[in-house]
């Protein structure tokens, strides 16, 4: 199914509780999707294992939720064989955080594995599941090159004024700085725009995790997330930026420990915490007609994103285009309208020609980077 210059490359895109995958035929210019799928939850109470062909048609498969990363990879391998797909020549993994030592996409060897293990402390929701998936893929596809495609790589060149956090040098020297995330998504938007890429672009990636990024001439110059994927705008279950004095109060007066703070910041806050109902925008919209807290959660989310769009426009000295992407960004038109209300002064009001909705194509970025690294 491939010529001498193209390779079948498998993308494994692990989230904190989900797994997306896609097998592509890849060369220097194109990524042709062969088959894709998703497990809504790996190791939890989520939706079924679903698979689609290149045209988006559902394929018959074992639809049970997957219990472990190993089971997920084994089922993907079985699916590829059953569909008579080519065996992957390389596998690319989305890795959210590489820490201070691993900031570029890289072939996974023993040294890179150690760097990623060390980086798990910065993104405990994301990196450990991704590393478990890497180990499972290495066992199920022995001898196949595996590549770490880092969400922080797109932001690695941010200027010092944006990258540096206002902390003592001794702490900054330990790697505490603004890394930024959703980099693969941002890269995919820049790639899709191609010749239409404007000098001053703001990308609002809105999903379970959400961030806003300023892109100048194709380069990230600032972004809302910081050391971890918990900062920035209000998210589904993450609080985003809050007064650090709140954390001091919780430790001093309520005796919270690190585990309790992590649970609060990452799982109990955001729209989930505001509404005391759900962090899922679809569920909040369904309840909003009769639930004041659901309406408040939606309004606060949109207000938080709107403020960050203004901040990124300030960092860019103006804005030529605003792109919405991610699960909410691509599918919830009401969110777009609410965010854009009152932003005519910035040129991105409701109905503005410079506002676009575009798909996040992280998997396409993963396989392109994997091809580039392994096809040398």
What are the residue numbers of the active site? 151
Q: Identify whether the C-beta of residue 176 lies closer than 8 Å to the C-beta of residue 167.
A: yes
348 in helix, strand or coil? coil
Which of 178, 179, 2, 9 shows the shortest CA–CA distance to 96?
Answer: 179
Q: How many residues does the chain have?
A: 376
**Residue 95 β-bridge partners:** 150
Sheet holding 146-150, edge to edge: 49-53, 31-39, 19-26, 7-14, 90-95, 146-150, 106-107
C-alpha distances out from residue 74 to 53, 136, 363, Å:
19, 8, 19
Rounded CA separation 97/229 (Å): 9
In the chain the first and final C-alpha atoms are separated, in Å, by: 20
Phi, psi of 127 (to 5 degrees): -70, -45
Q: Which helix (H) or strand (E) holds 137?
A: helix 127-140
Q: Identify whether the C-beta of residue 144 lies closer than 8 Å to the C-beta of residue 89.
A: yes
Rounded CA separation 145/141 (Å): 9
Which of 143, 151, 148, 73 shows the shortest CA–CA distance to 113?
Answer: 148
Q: Identify whether the C-beta of residue 314 lies closer than 8 Å to the C-beta of residue 307.
A: no
Q: What is the DSSP letter of 58?
A: B
Distance of CA 179 to the CA centre of its chain: 13
């Amino acid at each position: 199914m491939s010529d001498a210059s193209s390779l079948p490359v498998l993308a494994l895109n692990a989230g904190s509780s989900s797994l997306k995958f896609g097998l592509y035929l890849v060369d220097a210019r194109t990524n042709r999707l062969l088959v894709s799928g998703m497990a809504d939850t790996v190791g939890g109470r989520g939706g079924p294992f679903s698979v689609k062909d290149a045209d988006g048609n559902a394929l018959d498969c074992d639809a049970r939720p997957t219990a472990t990363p190993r089971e997920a990879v084994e089922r993907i391998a079985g699916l590829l064989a059953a569909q008579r797909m080519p065996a992957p020549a390389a596998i690319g993994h989305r890795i959210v955080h590489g820490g201070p030592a691993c900031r570029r996409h890289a072939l996974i060897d023993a040294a890179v594995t150690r760097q990623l293990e060390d980086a798990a402390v910065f993104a405990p929701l994301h990196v450990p599941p991704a590393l478990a998936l890497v180990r499972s893929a290495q066992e199920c596809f022995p001898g196949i090159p595996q590549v770490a495609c880092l969400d922080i790589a797109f932001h690695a060149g941010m200027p010092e004024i944006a990258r540096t956090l206002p902390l003592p040098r001794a702490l900054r020297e330990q790697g505490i700085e603004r890394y930024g995330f959703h980099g693969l998504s941002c890269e995919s938007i820049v790639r899709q725009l191609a010749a239409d890429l404007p000098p001053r672009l703001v990308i609002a990636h809105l999903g379970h995790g959400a961030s806003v990024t300023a892109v100048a001439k194709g380069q990230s110059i600032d972004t809302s997330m910081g050391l971890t994927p918990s900062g920035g705008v209000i998210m589904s279950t993450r609080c985003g930026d809050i007064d650090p004095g709140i954390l001091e109060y919780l430790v001093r007066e309520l005796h919270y420990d690190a585990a309790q703070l992590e649970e609060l910041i990452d799982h109990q806050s955001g729209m989930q915490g505001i509404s005391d109902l759900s962090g899922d925008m679809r569920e909040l919209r369904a309840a909003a007609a009769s639930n004041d807290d659901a309406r408040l959660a939606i309004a606060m989310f949109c207000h938080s994103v709107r403020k960050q769009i203004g901040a990124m426009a300030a960092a860019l000295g103006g804005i030529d285009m605003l792109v919405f992407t991610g699960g909410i960004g691509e599918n919830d038109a009401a969110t777009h309208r609410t965010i854009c209300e009152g932003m005519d002064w910035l040129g991105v009001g409701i109905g503005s020609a410079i506002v676009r909705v575009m798909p996040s194509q992280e998997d396409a970025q993963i396989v392109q980077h994997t091809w580039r690294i392994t096809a040398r």
